[in-house]
Structure 1
Amino acid sequence: MSTDEIRAIELLRRVSYGRVATSMRAMPFVAPARHIVADDRVLLRLHRGLGYHRACNGSVVAYGADNFDSGSEHLWSVQFTGTAEIVEPTDGELTTFGTEPEFVDGEPFDPVYMRIEPQFVTVHALDYASETPTTLPGGASVRRHLHHVA
């Protein structure tokens, strides 16, 4: 495993949700998903009722997560690109996922699980450093000079 892959896995373990992207009927879409890291692979939990799992299964997808709403001066974003497949999680993986939402868009939540075998991993770090902090909604303060590190 490369240094970027190790770093991305470590960062991904810090947040619970991200977005999966692929195409459905030749149109791109992005859907929210809960994730865990198991055996250095990304395991997603989506709502079956939306049908996104059918477009993802067997296809190349991108899964991204970030800490952009954390209020930290050290922001990061990771993206895993690879083939997704529907899987049955182990009891331990189900426990790691934790509680499920009760409803999604007003209908009862029906989970479906997908594993992504990462083929490409991207990590971006955005560090803010300035004398003038900016207050974000919720009271968090960040500094507004952007330094992009890939």
Structure 2
Amino acid sequence: MYPNDGFRELDRDECLWLLATAPIGRVVHTRQALPAVLPVNFSLDHDGAVLLRMSAVSDLAHAVDGVVVAFEADAADADTHSGWSVVVTGRAEIVTDRAEIDRLERTGPRSWVPSPEEVFVRIEPELVSGRELIGGRTLYGSHLSSRSPGHAGP
């Protein structure tokens, strides 16, 4: 990344703190040898793992179990030209330990679309990266939001 490009790298703790504030994220996995991205609700476990809850018979549950995936969440404010994005990369596993399932039933995410048979998927945070847009978007030193519509020059 170039200095002064308007972004600030986030450390792991900042990334996890921001992730905890997001209601929706995206799972990136492989489907028929191509990248696929699906929005999901989620929560973070005490160790920073991303937790998903979904139908046990869903295509997503079968596609991600035992493979490395990426998980992304972000927030943006169009008025202030600010925001952040966090990516967690790691192995996804369907939780099979009964004690762990019982704990996640109490503390894990709730399905927005409940199904008769659900599973929890844990994404271990092997790589965590993020960046924040700082300073807003500028053109020749002036914030674009302060310019009148149609004004092209300084």
Given the two structures, how large is their TM-score scaled by the length of structure 2? 0.68
- In the alignment, does 2:139 pair up with 1:92? no
Contact residue 51 and residue 121 of structure 2 kept, 8 A: yes
SS in 2 for 1:114: strand
Q: Show the counterpart of 1:16.
A: 23
User: 1:112 offset after TM fit, Å?
Assistant: 3.1
Alignment RMSD (CA, Å) = 2.6
Distance 2:88 2:58 in 1: 22
% identical aligned pairs: 31
* Alpha-carbon spacing, 1:27–1:109, altered in 2? closer, same or farther (3 Å): farther
Unaligned runs of 5+ in 1: 135-150
- In the alignment, does 2:68 pair up with 1:54? no
Given the two structures, how large is their TM-score scaled by the length of structure 1? 0.70
Where does 1:1-150 land on structure 2 (aligned, <5 Å)?
A: 4-39=11-46, 40-48=48-56, 50-68=58-76, 73-87=81-95, 88=101, 90-94=104-108, 97-98=109-110, 100-102=111-113, 111-127=118-134, 128=136, 130-133=142-145
* Alpha-carbon spacing, 1:132–1:66, altered in 2? closer, same or farther (3 Å): same
Kindly name which structure, 1 or 2, has the bigger radius of gyration based on alpha carbons: 2
Distance 1:102 1:44 in 2: 12
* Alpha-carbon spacing, 1:102–1:115, altered in 2? closer, same or farther (3 Å): closer
Residues 103-141 of structure 1: per-residue CA shift (max 9 Å, x gap): 7xxxx686432111111111011121543428xxxxxxx
The aligned length equals 125
**Bigger relative contact order (CA 8 A; separation at least 6):** 2
Distance 1:126 1:43 in 2: 26
- Structure with bigger strand share is 1
Contact residue 48 and residue 111 of structure 1 kept, 8 A: yes
Aligned AA for 2:133? L
Unaligned runs of 5+ in 2: 1-9, 96-100, 147-154
Contact residue 82 and residue 116 of structure 1 kept, 8 A: yes
